């Protein structure tokens, strides 16, 4: 888990990750990210969970048009 958490921290440090957490029930997790899709795909491929076959990612691209106050930075 520590290598994965270090990878998550790096995603935040790069300014790509906006929010993250566990699914309930605990069957995986979700990361809300913003940035260039090809750069994010390359970064996801470096997650230790992916490298060790523990997890696979499904990237869903969303074009936000409306956001609550304080979250306007998520919109395109």
Calculate the alpha carbon distances from 69 to 25, 63, 72 in Å.
29, 17, 6
Question: Which residue ranges make up each domain of the chain?
Answer: 2-74
Share of the chain above pLDDT 70, in %: 99
pLDDT tens-place string over residues 4-41 = 999 999 999 999 999 999 999 999 999 999 999 999 99
The reported pTM is 0.87
CB 34 within 8 Å of CB 16: yes
């Amino acid at each position: 888990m520590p290598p994965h958490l270090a990878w998550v921290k790096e995603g935040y440090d790069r300014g790509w990750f906006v929010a993250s957490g566990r699914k309930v029930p605990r069957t995986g997790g979700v990361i809300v990210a913003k940035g260039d899709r090809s750069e994010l795909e390359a970064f996801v491929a470096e997650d230790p969970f992916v490298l060790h076959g523990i997890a696979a990612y499904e990237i869903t691209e969303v074009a936000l048009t409306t956001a609550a106050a304080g979250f306007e930075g998520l919109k395109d």
